[in-house]
Chains A and B, each alone.
Chain A
Amino acid sequence: GEDVEQSLFLSVREGDSSVINCTYTDSSSTYLYWYKQEPGAGLQLLTYIFSNMDMKQDQRLTVLLNKKDKHLSLRIADTQTGDSAIYFCAITGGGNKLTFGTGTQLKVEL
């Protein structure tokens, strides 16, 4: 089956850029997502990228997709303390079945 991997932790200083990485095994993935989970809350869709795109930018967020290496990244520019959360990478090959990674805990330090 599909496998999605992420590192568990990332710590950055406020104002720096954060880069959260994700690798996956299913090359037929159609959509690739980044979800954010704040403490005590469910997951919230941050952004997504279609598999025929290499990059998508949305304000402070930049998503990069390297299909050859099956690598997805999320860059958060000017990281703020409010960005502290768990970030989940997820993929789907179609339909409504998502495969998630373990999540990366982002800690933003002052």
Chain B
Amino acid sequence: ETGVTQTPRHLVMGMTNKKSLKCEQHLGHNAMYWYKQSAKKPLELMFVYNFKEQTENNSVPSRFSPECPNSSHLFLHLHTLQPEDSALYLCASSRPESIEQFFGPGTRLTVL
């Protein structure tokens, strides 16, 4: 149990659908992250939130919309995705400025 949970674990959606990924951490951290993991590519940082404020948006297309209502929860809202958006989406959390990030198990997203 890493203390970071993600739901759903698997998601299949069409390009016109709207869905949301959820991440929850039970570690008392104040920084949360979204990463995209595609095969044979480096893990890509998408968004960073510190104390509920977005501090990093790594040129992510607007069809991905993050939301951080409090320090324990992070969402990634998805709409009109493309097949190339199919990937494993990982959430992580940490204390701000900590050297260690704790990762959830990820949501495997398939866009048809």
Across the interface, do B31 and A96 meet the contact criterion of CB distance under 8 Å?
A: yes
Q: Count A-B pairs with CB separation below 8 Å.
A: 59
Q: Does B34 contact A (CB under 8 A)?
A: no
Q: Find the B residue at minimum CB distance from A33.
A: B99
Which residues of A are in contact with B by a Cβ distance under 8 Å? 4, 8, 31, 33, 35, 40-45, 48, 88, 90, 92, 95-103
Total B residues in contact with A, Cβ cutoff 8 Å: 27
Alpha-carbon gap, A44 to B56, bound state (A): 22
Alpha-carbon gap, A107 to B42, bound state (A): 19
**Interface pairs (6), CB distance under 8 Å:** A42-B2, A42-B106, A43-B103, A97-B56, A100-B42, A103-B42
Chain B residues, Cβ within 8 Å of A43 = 43, 90, 92, 101, 103
Which listed residue, B2, B98, B102, B105, touches A40 by the CB 8 Å rule? B105
Which residues of B are in contact with A by a Cβ distance under 8 Å? 2, 4, 31, 33, 35, 40-43, 45, 48, 50, 56, 90, 92, 94, 96-106
Across the interface, do A95 and B97 meet the contact criterion of CB distance under 8 Å?
A: yes
Given contacts A42-B4, A96-B97, contact A101 B42 (CB under 8 A): yes
Which listed residue, B40, B45, B99, touches A31 by the CB 8 Å rule? B99
Alpha-carbon gap, A98 to B4, bound state (A): 18
Closest CB of chain B to A4's CB: distance in Å? 6
Chain A residues, Cβ within 8 Å of B50 = 96
Alpha-carbon gap, A103 to B41, bound state (A): 8
Alpha-carbon gap, A92 to B56, bound state (A): 14
Alpha-carbon gap, A42 to B90, bound state (A): 7
Across the interface, do A97 and B42 meet the contact criterion of CB distance under 8 Å?
A: no
Alpha-carbon gap, A86 to B45, bound state (A): 18
